[in-house]
Amino acid sequence: MKSVALTTPLYYVNDLPHMGSAYPTIAADALARFYRLQGIPTLFVTGCDEHGQKIQQAAAKFNRTPQEHCDLMVRGFEELWNLLDIKYDRFVRTNDPRHQPIVTEFFQKVYDRGDIYQGQQQGWYCVACEEFKEERELLEDKRCPIHPTVTCEWRDETNYFFRLSNYQSQLEELYRTRPDFILPLSRRNEVLSFVEQGLRDFSISRYTPWGFPVPIDRQQTLYVWFDALLGYLTGLVAPEEEPTLANALKTWYPINLHIIGKDILRFHAVYWPAMLMSAGLPLPDRVFGHGFFNQRWTENG
C-alpha cells in the first residue's frame, strides 16, 4: 500500500458528541496510528456536518444563531478528540467557506452529466433523519420509525433531484465485482436488498436557509447529505492549497476507507458511489459499517 486516506463520519452537530461518535473515531485513530507505524503515509480525516434544518432547530432551541451553535458544538468535538488522544490530520467543517467551491464544482459536473432535474416532491419528512419517509414506514401519528419521538411533517415542494435511478445497474455491478466494497458482510447484504427493490431519485435541495445555495437556483439550499458527503473531498485539500476539486483529487484520492455507523450506510454505500460515478470520479475502496452498543446496567453496576 502506497498511502492510506481514511475517514470517520462527519458528525452532525445538533448536539455534543456521544459515545456513538467517539467509537468510530477511536477505531479510525487506531488504524491511522497502525499505518503510520508501518511507515505508510496516512491521512486521517474527521469533522462535522453543520448544515440542515435540524441544526437550525437545535440552535433556535438554545437561542443561538446556527453559526454560534456549530462553533460551540465543534469545540466540544475537538475537546473530546483531544481527551481521547485522537490524532487526526484534517478536521472538515461543512460550512467552512473552503467547502463551498468544491461543492459547487462537483454539483456542476453532475448537472452537466444531466443527472440533476427539477421535480415535485410530496410526502412525510423526518427532520431528524433529514429524509422523506414512505407512508407505510411510519408509526402511529406519523412518527418516524428511527426517531419515534419525532412527528413527520407533510412537505410539498419543488426540488432538484439527483437521478439515482440511472445508476441502478452500475451500482449492482460494483457490489458484484467488488464484494469487499461494503464490509462487514451483514451490511453488504443490507445494501444489496435495499438496491434490489429499485432505486428512486432523491431530492438534493430544500427550502431552508441554513446551507449552501443551489448553484443554479439561489432560492433553495443544497440537501445536507449532498454537501456532507462532499466534505470528504474537501478534507483531502491541504490547508495551504486553494480549495478546488483538482486539489482535492491530486494527492490522497481515492479514499481507501470510510468508517461509518450502520445508520448512515445507505448514504455511503449507495448515494455516495452513485454521485461519484455521475461526476466521473473513482470510487473509495471500502465502506465499513460498525455496529451499535446497548447499554446495560447489572446489579453490580
Partner 1 sequence: MGFLTKDGLKMGKTLGNTIDPFALVKQYGSDAVRYFFLKEIEFGRDGDFSESRFVEILNADLANSLGNLLNRSLGMIFKYCDGKVPNRGYDLSNSCNQMVEQVRQSYANLAFQQVCQAVLAVVREGNKLIDDRAPWKLFKAGAQEEVEQILYSILEAMRLVSLCLYPITPNLSTKIIEQLNLSPHSTWECQWGILVPGTELPKPQPVFERIEVKP
Residues within the interface to partner 1 (CB under 8 A): 16-19, 21-23, 26-27, 29-34, 37-39, 79-80, 83-85, 183-184, 186-187, 259, 288-301
Least distance CB 48 / partner 1 (angstroms): 15
Cis omega (within 30 of 0) for bond into 24: no
Which residues sit opposite 11 in a β-bridge? 48
183 sits in the region (left: phi over 0; alpha: psi -120 to 50; else beta) called: beta
Question: What size, in residues, is the chain?
Answer: 301
Nearest distance from C-beta of residue 42 to partner 1, angstroms:
11
Nearer to partner 1, 2 or 37 (CB): 37
Which residue lies nearer to partner 1 by CB, 59 or 265?
265
CB of 262 to partner 1, least distance (A): 9
Give the contacts of 82 (CB within 8 A, at least 6 positions apart). Answer: none
254 cis-preceded (ω within 30 degrees of 0): yes
Q: Buried b vs exposed e over 241-261: b needs ≥16 C-beta within 10 Å?
A: eebebebbeeebbebbbbbbb
**Minimum CB distance to partner 1, residue 22 (Å):** 4
Nearest to 191, CA basis, from 265, 288, 132, 283: 265
270, three cell numbers: 449507495
Q: Which residue, 34 or 207, is less far from partner 1 as judged by CB?
A: 34
Which of 27, 249 has the CB closer to partner 1?
27
Please identify, using beta-carbon distances, which residue of 31 and 70 lies nearer to partner 1. 31
Supply the minimum distance, in Å, between the C-beta of residue 287 and partner 1. Answer: 12
